[in-house]
Each structure stands twice: as structure tokens, then as C-alpha cells.
Amino acid sequence: MIDVAIVGAGPNGLMLACELALAGVHPVVLERHAAPTGEPRANGLVGQVVRLLDRRGLYARLSGESTPPAPQPAFTFGAFPLDLTMLAENPHYVLGVPQAQLEAGLAVRAAELGVDLRRGHEVVDLRQRLDAVEVHLADGTQLTSRFVVGADGGRSVVRRLAGIDFPGVTNDRSISRTATVTVPASSLDPETGGLRVPGYGVVPPFQHTRTTRGLIAWAPFPGRPAILSTTEWPDPPTNDETPMSLAELRASVARVLGADIPLGPPDGPGLLRRLTGRNTRIAARYRADRVLLVGDAAHVHPAMGGPGLNLGLQDAVNLGWKLAATVRGWAPKGLLDTYESERRPVAERVVMSTQAQSALIGPGDEISGLRELFAELLRKPEVTGHIAALMSGADIRYPADPADPLAGRCAPDVVVHTEHGATRLAELTRTARPLLLDSTGAYAGIAAPWRDRVDVVTGSLEGTTAAALLVRPDCFIAWSAGDAGTLRASLAHHFGLPR
């Protein structure tokens, strides 16, 4: 019998597979496509997930950088530029790798960990038993797994077969057009890399620019084709079924800016995509007995601010250690249910953020008045800091002991100084095991009965005022220094009774 069958070999499914393999569980990943599609989707990762990848040793692989990730000095929110240099603590990170590259890197890592990735395997039915799930494939074969996880996107087959509703709203007013393009050298601003548009001005790079008629974004990625996109709200709404063309995008740009831009095709294969409307939905439940959902299978929302992979990959890491503990038999009662109770509020918060941004970019003079007020607010560091924490996921706090000020928060970038030298937390968390950091030496003995599943590192701690930290595999703090009794209680609450 298979431990866990993961349906979908996108970033979320592959990340979950890696987490399970690190925890000693052997997943099988079922992907209906025979090979990676290479279809252009996300253009990078935004938020705290960048730090998470660093804490699994994946950031250096994907970025090619030998140094840890650094916060970005600027970003956007609802087509407003965010000046993050005004913040004392900037939580916003960006990793500019396209989704195809991310998937390829995660597939390599999964193979290194012994994950069984089966491409060309399409799931057509699920039948739950008391102790397992029967998975039926399109070729007539079937397999049996203790658990099944749907990581198969917004149109999830797993979600449908499990009988999980997907309530929400569909707004069909907007039309977004995106293409990889070339433009004449004379159309590029040499100082900023922005797009010079006669009769309008400069469209800055890597941010949304809003007019009363629509939205435009110009992304001149280094080493790969530039992307130009627009969003409009036609009245009445239209639904054009003809294939997208560069001429159509050029006409859209002219309507949004009131000026024309000459566009040419990219050198090589390109993207031409039209999307009508947007969905905002969250699954009625993340779990139906032995079937669970991660990523877009559990929630879909507008792409404003690029939160999708930040949300989905952290779903996978939150679920990974809890599902592994359940499979291996040491999970405390109710641990697996905390996957939904912790991650659903995060999805709801992302939905709120993307809906707010969608409202702020809308057409019309009324929205322009709202934007004028919002621009005033963003000049206040406390407002920009609040929004930066919201967009990056740095404001997440899972339910925890209210008397413990650090519990439930993401662990800071601690450096541990031992007799062997200094070690970053990001190096200690690559095994995805629970970790007790102890600067006093007084707590290591308390954790000894859990040594089969909790690692202990003793040394002075730099980057935190706590004398000791108990860190979950997803790098959130389970406990910070208190008395011995509270440590024992936290160990049992999160990691079960000692053997």
C-alpha cells in the first residue's frame, strides 16, 4: 500500500512530496500530463515563501546565489508603488524564477529524495475505505493509498471526486490580455527600463500602472522575453472566443493609455493569453476523511500581488509534517485537522487582499478619488508596513498559548553559535525535523524522550531575545523559553507522546 498519493506535479504537489520524503514517508505523485507542459504561468515567488525555500536549501539552487535572500526595497499593492526602504523591518522577499524553472528544480529535488513521480497517470475516480483510498486511473489500473492529496489546481478532479464544494464568486467583467513581446529600442527608457510611450509618458517596469480606463504592466525580464499585459472592464462585458493576437493586445494598450505602442513577436516561442473574468473561491473543507487539498485545489483568487505560490507552497509545508506524523503513527490526536484550522484563515486573508487590490485598480473617477486617499495613507510607514506584512504573509500567527509571545509566529533568522562555529537556522532546518534551540543547556534533557523526532542544538542564539525556541518543521515557533512543564506540554501537543 502507498503511504500518500499526491495528484498533480505542479510546485505544490512536488513541494509536498519533498516534505513527506524528508519525514520518512514515501509518496507517489500522479501527473496526468506525460511531460512538463512548460506553459508560462507564475513569473516568480513573492513573500515569506522565499525564506522558506532558503530553509530547505532550495533558494541557492533556484536563484544561483550563494548568499541568503535579502528583502526587496520596493513592491506594488493595487497598482501603488510601495517604498519598503522606509520600514525598520522589511518582510518582503522576491525570487524571480518562472514557474517552469521552479517545477523543474523541485522535480530534481524530489528525485534525489526518492519520490516516485509517475507522469501520464490520470486519476478518474476515488473510492474511500475505512483505512485507505482506492485510486482509479484512466488506463483502467488502480492503486491503494493511505491518504490522497489533491494538488491538481483550481479545476481539481480530486476535490470533485471527494465531494467537496468550492463556494465563492465569479466576476466576468474583466478581460486580461498577456503576451511575450519585443519593442523597438527607442521605446525603452535607458534609466529605468520602463516603456516610453509618446503621448503618455513612461510605463515603469515590474509594477501595475492604472488609468481610469484600465491597467497595464510591463515586465522586461533579464535573459528572457519581456511580458506586456493589460486589464480592461468593457461595458457591456464581452467573451471573445477567437484566438488572442498581438494586434488585439496593441489595441487594448491604446485604449488603456490613450496612446499606441509598436509591438513585435518574441524571438522564439511566445505567450498569447486572454483571460475573461476571475474566480474567488475557497473549498468548503480542506479534508474529507483521507482526502486532502493543497494550493489552488483548496483556494483560487485574483493574481494581484502574486500571492499564489506563497500561499500554496506554505500549505504544502504545513500539511507535510502533520501528514507524515499521522502516517508514521506518532501524531497527537487532532494534529492533521490543524492543517485546515491554520491555513484556511491565511487563504481568507489572501482573498481579502486580492479583492481589495482588484477594487483599487478598477476604472472610473470614483476609484481615482479612493486612490488619492490611499496614496496619502501609504506615505505613513506604519500603513506600508502593515500592507507589506499582509502581502508577504509575515503577519501570520497560528493559534498558540497567548502567554507565549513568540509561539505561533514564523521563526526569525536565528544564528546558533556552538563550539563548532556559527550556523544559520536555514542550515539546521533542511532536514524538515522539529528543532529545539537551547542557549542555556537546561532544556535539552527535557526533550531527550522525543529524540527520535526532535533535534536539539545547544549554543548561544543570535537574532532572538528568547533563551530557547522549539521550532516546528514548517519553521513556525511552537514554544519559546518558559518552564520545563510548558516545554513538555508543547512537545506532546505538537509531536505526540514520547516512545
- Domain at 372, CATH number: 3.50.50.60
Q: What angle do CA 467, 470, 476 make, to 5 degrees?
A: 115
In terms of Cβ atoms closer than 10 Å to its own Cβ (0-12, 13-18, 19+), residue 132 is: middle
Separation CA 148–CA 144 (nearest Å) = 9
Going by C-beta distance under 8 Å and a sequence separation of 6 or more, which residues neighbour residue 291?
A: 126, 128, 133, 147, 148, 149, 150, 158, 161, 162, 164
> Do 293 and 272 lie in a common domain?
no
pTM attached to this predicted model? 0.94
Cβ atoms of 183 and 226 closer than 8 Å: yes
> Do 251 and 114 lie in a common domain?
no
Instruction: Determine, yes or no, domain membership for 6.
Output: yes
Task: Look at the block and give the residue holding cell 477567437.
Answer: 242
Instruction: Determine, yes or no, domain membership for 404.
Output: no
DSSP of 364-415? SHHHHHHHHHHHHHTTSHHHHHHHHHHHHTTT---S--TT-SSTTSBPP--E
Helix (H) or strand (E) holding 460: strand 460-462
Instruction: Determine, yes or no, domain membership for 37.
Output: yes
Q: Domain containing 458: what range?
A: 409-495
> Do 258 and 143 lie in a common domain?
no
> Do 417 and 338 lie in a common domain?
no
Which of 278, 298, 330 is a domain's end point?
A: 278
Helix (H) or strand (E) holding 448: none
Which of 278, 297, 324 is a domain's end point?
A: 278
Which of 230, 248, 278 is a domain's end point?
A: 278
Q: What is the pLDDT of residue 302?
A: 87
Helix (H) or strand (E) holding 355: helix 338-360
Count structural domains, the chain. 3
> Do 288 and 256 lie in a common domain?
no
Task: Look at the block and give the residue holding cell 505560490.
Answer: 309
Instruction: Determine, yes or no, domain membership for 403.
Output: no
Q: What is the pLDDT of residue 201?
A: 93
Q: What is the pLDDT of residue 157?
A: 98
CATH number for the domain spanning 443: value is: 3.40.30.120
Run means of pLDDT, 10 residues per run, the chain, 499 residues: 97 98 97 85 89 97 94 94 95 92 96 98 97 97 98 97 95 88 92 92 93 93 90 80 91 95 87 88 98 97 88 97 97 97 97 93 91 96 96 94 92 94 96 96 94 96 95 97 90 94
Instruction: Determine, yes or no, domain membership for 147.
Output: yes
Instruction: Determine, yes or no, domain membership for 109.
Output: yes
> Strands 142-150 and 80-83: what pairing?
unpaired
Q: What is the pLDDT of residue 443?
A: 95
Q: 3-state SS of the chain: helix, strand, coil percent to 5?
A: 30, 25, 40
Instruction: Determine, yes or no, domain membership for 121.
Output: yes
Angle subtended by helix axes 11-22 and 308-328, to nearest 10 = 30
> Do 157 and 78 lie in a common domain?
yes
> Do 45 and 117 lie in a common domain?
yes
Separation CA 111–CA 29 (nearest Å) = 11
Q: What is the pLDDT of residue 44?
A: 87
> Do 190 and 321 lie in a common domain?
no
> Do 271 and 285 lie in a common domain?
no
Q: Pick from 13, 50, 15: which is nearest to 33 by CA?
A: 13
Per DSSP, the three-state class of 363 is: coil
DSSP of 208-264? EEEETTEEEEEE--TTS-EEEEEEE--SS-----SPP-HHHHHHHHHHHHSS----B
- How many CB atoms are closer than 10 A to CB 229? 21
The residue type at 285 = R
Separation CA 92–CA 51 (nearest Å) = 10
Instruction: Determine, yes or no, domain membership for 115.
Output: yes
Q: What is the pLDDT of residue 102?
A: 95
Cell representation of residue 133: 483510498
Residue 187 gets which letter from DSSP? G
Cβ atoms of 361 and 231 closer than 8 Å: yes
> Do 74 and 17 lie in a common domain?
yes
CATH number for the domain spanning 204: value is: 3.30.70.2450
Cβ atoms of 18 and 391 closer than 8 Å: no
> Do 310 and 384 lie in a common domain?
yes
Cβ atoms of 84 and 73 closer than 8 Å: yes
> Do 136 and 55 lie in a common domain?
yes
**Residue 52 bridge partners (DSSP):** none
